Structure 1
Amino acid sequence: MAFEDDYLDVLQNVEAAIVGVYRTRPELVDYDVDVVLAALVKGYQAEQRQREKPALRLTELRQELYDAVGAMCEWRLGRTEFIDPKTDQPMPGPPQLTIDEILACLKRIRTSVKRWTKDGGRQGYLTFIDKFIV
């Protein structure tokens, strides 16, 4: 089975967080996404090595994206809850992932960002994934 098949739900969750920011902030470009994903990868790698996460210098837009994608990763790691806005109750979480699994997913998405940017320009990746996220 392909990596994408094994982690499709995780990839979709992370990409939904990306698209959520893109739809409210259309000035977002693929490079911003790549910078944020790289920062998250470095942060989780530092955590694995029991080191301090690197200091971040992100623009307001990139910080917004970092917060959204980071929250999704933390939820998939089983560290946070999402509250159902209709019931105000915690939503049941998916199976907990390891940091290695989150890192693999973030790296896979970075590969996709690079591919679709090359094929479609500054927002090639964002335009591509926007079609698939409801």
Structure 2
Amino acid sequence: MNIELAVMDVYLQHPQLLDAQVDAGLGALISRYKAELLGREVSPPQLPQRPLLVFESVRDTTELMLGRPDQVMDTITLEETVTCLQRIRKSVNFWTKRSGKQGYLKFVRSQLHPAATDS
């Protein structure tokens, strides 16, 4: 849920955000963490503005979840983080196919902000 809140932060600031842009940001973050797991050098992602905003917002959240830098809280492993991101990415694809270009975003918004209505 924390990861989806990070996505919602971007969506609420940029209502034109599309599920495909969320997918691209999540995909880049998954690639980053997989490279880290393999001990490979991690380079900054080459993404357009909106996917980059998703990447950065979700990365900030996952870094806290990973206990970085030196957070005093329960943490999850890098493997668990990748699994969470992959599960959310599957949800993005499911809701996009079911409800269109912003299907995932509108679904999550309805779950996290039930009083919100779309204009």
Secondary structure of 1:109 counterpart = helix
Question: Structure 1 length normalisation: TM-score?
Answer: 0.79
Q: What residue number does 1:124 align with?
A: 103
Return the alpha-carbon distance in structure 1 between the equivalents of residues 50 and 20 of structure 2: 12
Match of 2:25 among 2, 23, 36: 36
Return the alpha-carbon distance in structure 2 between the equivalents of residues 114 and 54 of structure 1: 26
Match of 2:66 among 52, 65, 77: 77
Number of aligned positions between the proteins: 113
Pairing of 1:1-134 with structure 2 (within 5 A): 12-80=1-69, 93=73, 95-134=74-113
Secondary structure of 2:96 counterpart = helix
Q: Which runs of 5+ in 1 are unaligned?
A: 1-11, 83-91
RMSD, matched Cα:
1.6
The alpha-carbon deviation at position 34 of structure 1 amounts to 0.6
The alpha-carbon deviation at position 66 of structure 1 amounts to 1.0
The residue type paired with residue 73 of structure 1 is T
Question: Structure 2 length normalisation: TM-score?
Answer: 0.89
The residue type paired with residue 105 of structure 2 is L
Return the alpha-carbon distance in structure 2 between the equivalents of residues 57 and 46 of structure 1: 15
Secondary structure of 2:111 counterpart = coil
Return the alpha-carbon distance in structure 2 between the equivalents of residues 81 and 123 of structure 1: 36
Q: Which runs of 5+ in 2 are unaligned?
A: 114-119
